[in-house]
Amino acid sequence: METRPPLVTVIVPNYNHARFLPLCLKAVQEQTYPCVEIVMVDDHSTDESVTIAESLGVDVVRTPVNSGPAVARNTGAGWASGEILFFVDSDVALAPDAVATGVALLLADPGLGAACGIEDPEPLIRSTQVEDYRSLQHHYWSIGSEGEVSFLWSAMFAIRAEVFAETGPFNPLLKHTEEVDYGHRLSRRHTVLITSAIHGRMGHDRELPALLRKLFHRGRSRVPLYASRRRFARGYETASRAWASVAALLAVVTLPLPLVLGPVAAAVPALLVAASLACDAGMYRFVFSRRCPVFGLFFVGVHFLVNLVIIGGVAAGALQWLASGRFRRLYETPAPAALGTRG
């Protein structure tokens, strides 16, 4: 007697991603894996997201208010019937075999808690150079983390429903770092894998201010987690990347030195800029090998600014951690949030 493959519930949390949603949902509908149900959780969008999903025949669950991706993912898990949950953000178009690969990895290793994918180096929709920057930068950082990690790359990942229930829901109070917190909890008892065998194209912010704002808050919000657990996430936040941000900040801080100590002191910020660039040299070689020199220089300039914003976010988080007991308790487990309604 032939054994039925496990049912997979693909959960698509969404907020105002009508631009990407048709590509995302069609990619899920075209998966090679035979036993899939799709649940889109719309987090109170103000665009045409719900209309688009319903026109494609996708079941939609709506949250009563906009609550963030953690609540949307938890809501989807609450409505799921599958033995395996596959979460995919609504700005990601999965490769056709992504679900099948995720299931195969989980079935092959009972100790594997989650199998996370890696986005391709090309953006889902190309409209600005900022999108090109972010897709290449994040792809490179993710590929460098391939293997066992202690964080969760939540844009696309497969997890057994029983493991999700055992680990508990995403923290609904977290807006920028819910996946880092979840990865820390999950990796205490299970292996977390990030692999390019699961992949797809991802949409990104089109404008630089939106990207910088997101990165600032992610850096700020990580501080109480790492302060309480006294360790960084394994596999993604490397020492060289941290030192690149520190050197960038010191370069800016020391810019006035020539005014005080004379022209020779200009060597100090120059050397610090060189040190920051050297820490990310592998990524810059990767980018220049794929794109023209003009874009390469644009990439270097934007990433130097990104390094400043990340370290600025961490510094702001450190000050907030010192001043606010509530902020220090940010990662304490709260009560589960209420589920949304279908239709």
201-237: pLDDT as tens digits: 999 999 999 999 999 999 999 899 888 776 666 666 7
Instruction: Name every residue whose Cβ is closer than 8 Å to that of residue 42 and which is 6 or more positions away in sequence.
Output: 14, 15, 49, 50, 53, 60, 61, 62, 63, 72
Give residue 243's pLDDT: 92
List all residues 6 or more positions away from 321 whose beta carbon is below 8 Å from its beta carbon.
Answer: 223, 224, 227, 327, 328
Helix/strand/coil for 332: coil
**CA 180 vs CA 21, 151, 170, 316, 336: distances in Å:** 25, 5, 10, 19, 18
Enumerate residues 6+ apart whose C-beta is below 8 A from 51: none
Q: Which residue has the tokens 């979840």?
A: 182
Quick one: pLDDT at residue 333? 64
Q: How far apart are the first and last CA of the chain?
A: 38
Rounded to two decimals, the pTM is: 0.91
CA 170 – CA 74 distance, rounded (Å): 6
For the chain, residues with pLDDT lower than 50 are: 1, 335, 337-338
Helix, coil or strand: residue 114? strand
Beta-carbon count within 10 A of 284 CB: 17
